[in-house]
Every structure is written in structure tokens, then in C-alpha cells.
Amino acid sequence: MGIPEDKIIESQQYPHIQAEKLLIPYVHYQGANWVGNFLRREFLPKSLSKYLNLSNNSTHQRIYISRKYAQYRRIINETELVSYLGANFGFQSVTLETLPLAEQVAVLSAAKVVIAPHGAGLPNLVFCAPVTKIIEIFSPHYINRCYWLLSQQVSLDYYYLLAENHLADGWENYPKNQPGSPTQDPDMLVSLDKLAKLLEVAEVEPIYNVFS
């Protein structure tokens, strides 16, 4: 196209660009519907037959997906968060990377509500039943719509929560918006008050209402 290399830039590194002429490629993040259908057809029957107890287990109906073993984008107050969700709403914390794939599939297919920080465990949302409620937690410094798109494809009830503004000291010296950098992948602090309000909006009732 005759564009010199020094004039090819990554827009995520430059949030404000002024130019006389811009050529911008369109990145299509929305996958084809057949992909989700294929994955469900291939993995769901085998996983559910192997982990039938999970699909019938009410303790897996509300799950929180932890990133405690990840190198970044962890929840700083996760102990408090998990305790709050468990005691008040009956959530169970799971770390998907410790489970076999078939069990991951079974856990997500049995879930009715899923709360998770943005991360690599969320492609498993493709195995959720339609209208499963999803609450994705984002850093205010980095928002990615890919799992919202996935949720639309498989008819999930999607919500998101912005974590509190929290960056490590010296973050301004790091390259901006690079994987693993404090700006794209900072650890996050979740406001329990904001989460409680969002759970109310999403009509996720406390356990004393559900089982009363």
C-alpha cells in the first residue's frame, strides 16, 4: 500500500491521534455462530455424561471464577469477595485451570450465575445454558468486549462491573496497553457495595430469599 513502516502505528498505544488521513483496518472480533454450536455439540454430551453429578448439583449453580493463580488481573480483595458471595448468595469459587476440560465444561453448563474477572477462563461461557447470568469484572483501565459478544451469540444475560481505580506505584513508567502491563492487566479491587447493587439489577437474589 506504499505506507512507510514508521507511519504504521498501533492505535491502543496512542489513545489520541491527529492526522490528515488515516487508514484503519477493521478487526472483526465476533466469531461465526457455527463455532459455538460445534463446540457445544462436541464437548457437552461427553462432559455431562462423565460429570453427571455436577449438572445435578445445586452448589454449582452460582460460581465465581478465580484468577488467584494468574500472574496478573487478580482480585486484590478476593478473600473478602468470595466470603461475601458465598455467605450471602451461595456462590462457589472455582479455579478452572485446576480442572480437566470436561469438568470445566460441566461446571459452566450447570451454572445459572457466573461472576468472573475478565480472563482466559471465559471462553467456557460458550457451554452455558441460554439466559445464564454473567457478570464480568473489568479494570477501569482496560475493557474488552469479546465475552460480551460471545454472550450475545449464545443468548446469555450479560452484565459488567468496573473495579476500583487501582494501579501499582510506578505504573506510568511501563509501556501502555501491553499484555501483563499495569495499565492493561492490573490487579483489581472490587467494591462490594457496587457489586451488591449490580446483583440486585441482575435479579440475583440472596440465598435467604431463594431458599425461604
Query: Structurally, how many domains does the chain consist of?
Result: 1
Would you say residue 20 lies in a domain? no
Q: How confident is the model at residue 2 (pLDDT cuts 50, 70, 90)?
A: confident
Instruction: Please enumerate in sequence order all residues whose Cβ is within 8 A of that of 76, keeping only pairs 6 or more positions apart, or say none.
Output: 166, 187, 188, 189
H/E run at residue 52? helix 52-55
- 113-117 and 133-138: which strand pairing? parallel
Q: Is residue 83 part of a domain?
A: yes
The answer to whether position 86 is within a domain reads yes
Residue 23 is assigned to a structural domain of this protein: no
Q: Single out the residue of 113, 206, 207 nearest to residue 156, CA to CA.
A: 113
Residue 27 within any structural domain of the chain: no
Residue 170: band (very low, low, confident or very high) from pLDDT cuts 50, 70, 90: very low
pLDDT at 136 over 50: yes
Domain that holds residue 133: 33-164+174-210
Decide if 3 is inside a domain. Answer: no
Q: Is residue 112 part of a domain?
A: yes
Q: What is the CATH number of the domain that holds 38?
A: 3.40.50
Residue 63: the pLDDT is 97
Confidence band for 91, pLDDT divided at 50, 70 and 90 = very high
Q: Is 8 inside any structural domain?
A: no
* pTM exceeds 0.85, yes or no: no
